[in-house]
Structure 1
Amino acid sequence: MTQGDPMPFLPSLPDPAHLSDLYARFPDNVQPLMVYTDGLLRGEGELSIGERELIATYVSALNACTFCAGAHRAYAEVFGIDAGLIDALIADPATAPVDDKLRPILAYVAKLNTLPSRLKQADAQAVYDAGWSETALYEAVQVCALFNMMNRIIEGTGINFDYAKTPEGHHATGTTPEEQADSYSRFGEMVAAMAKG
């Protein structure tokens, strides 16, 4: 959904509705989810933080989840991913100027996102042949899986906040990687405070 679309599907939410509004209204299980998200997207990994945020953005764009694609695009840019690369990847993955090493991981998550039962050993082998380990592939699989869930939470509840149509943009824009080091845990804490009133 995008800003200006019909009202959120949950009448208790404001219009436009942000994920923080949803989580403040339904705070159960938010904290463990944010801790997991911080660990997955901000923790040590074979994939860089920027690459993991790029995967989050790409999967969200494949699912046409405007909210998540906008939010994670901002984070990907903070962590060093070029805006032009993001645009090119979303427009046409085949011609996007993606690093050759990253290309098979993006192909893997695209297939996992849309046709998971059609993944083959050859898809995984292409990732390994590019120089990645099982750890990197599992990181990519987890990011894809997390954003399939998050995209469906957003779309299923009618969250219609759109960063692209908001003058101030995303709060991460113009910040440093250090300032966003534990952004998901801090988001969870903010939501917990909102839920208490």
Structure 2
Amino acid sequence: MPLFPSLPSPARLSDLLSRHPAHAGPLLMHVEGVMHAGAPLTAAECELIAAYVSGLNACAFCHGSHQIYAEALGIEPGLIDALLEDPDTAPIAPKMRPLLAYVAKLNNLPSRLTPTDVAAVMDAGWSEDALYHAVQVCALFNLFNRLVEGAGVDFTYGSNANLTPADRSADYKGFAKRLGVLG
């Protein structure tokens, strides 16, 4: 159930952003920059991290929508759920395992990150830029998870299989333009 009285039931992210447009355009441009701006991680890897972080935070809306995006971009169906169930046995590429472990620790216990955690990511072949990119995605989805949960955005894509969050391309800049919050 939506928490904000201006939102319909069920409430989508587009409902929230179009009712509060002052910051929606810049926010979605930031999302576009973090998720797609030719950074070290692929769009699929970014969407995997977004869905994983949102699942760790029990944000059903963001988890469900970004799982759709991740799978549309080539992430194996069921992988994100397997990560949430048991990250140690999930069928994830060895290179991704320490990066996702870092993201999970950052999400759940950030003050306990150590140079050993960074070394594990670097030893797997990631650059510092890639790790920073993963940190940005994690931070961004903590922000979005709080926006969504704080307003009561509750649309469930799983029960509406013919609908997608914006479109399957995860084009956040296009989404902002369609909402009219970006010129």
Q: Which whole-Å deviations, capped at 9, do the CAs of 1:71-107 have from their partners, x for residues lacking one?
A: 1111111211111222211221110011111101100
Whether 1:26 and 2:14 are equivalent positions in the alignment is: no
Q: Which whole-Å deviations, capped at 9, do the CAs of 1:153-173 have from their partners, x for residues lacking one?
A: 000111111111114232567
What is the match of residue 52 of structure 1?
46
Distance 1:94 1:169, change over 3 A: farther
> Partner letter of residue 21 of structure 2?
P
What is the match of residue 122 of structure 1?
116
> Partner letter of residue 178 of structure 2?
M
Whether 1:96 and 2:84 are equivalent positions in the alignment is: no
Q: Which whole-Å deviations, capped at 9, do the CAs of 1:35-57 have from their partners, x for residues lacking one?
A: 11111111212211111100000
Whether 1:37 and 2:25 are equivalent positions in the alignment is: no
Give the distance between the partners of 1:88 and 1:158, measured in 2 at CA. 26
Q: Which runs of 5+ in 2 are unaligned?
A: none
Give the distance between the partners of 1:94 and 1:172, measured in 2 at CA. 32
Give the distance between the partners of 1:62 and 1:118, measured in 2 at CA. 17
Q: Is the 8 Å Cα contact of residues 58 and 69 (structure 1) preserved in structure 2? A: yes
Give the distance between the partners of 1:73 and 1:17, measured in 2 at CA. 19
Give the distance between the partners of 2:161 and 2:106, measured in 1 at CA. 34
TM-score for the superposition, normalised by structure 2: 0.94
Q: Is the 8 Å Cα contact of residues 75 and 172 (structure 1) preserved in structure 2? A: no
Q: Which runs of 5+ in 1 are unaligned?
A: 1-6
Q: How many residues align?
A: 182
Give the distance between the partners of 2:154 and 2:78, measured in 1 at CA. 25
| Percent identical | 53
Secondary structure of 1:9's aligned partner: coil
TM-score for the superposition, normalised by structure 1: 0.87
168, 172, 179: which one aligns with 1:191:
179
> Partner letter of residue 70 of structure 1?
G
Q: Is the 8 Å Cα contact of residues 128 and 134 (structure 1) preserved in structure 2? A: yes
Question: Structure 1 residue 108: deviation in Å?
Answer: 0.4
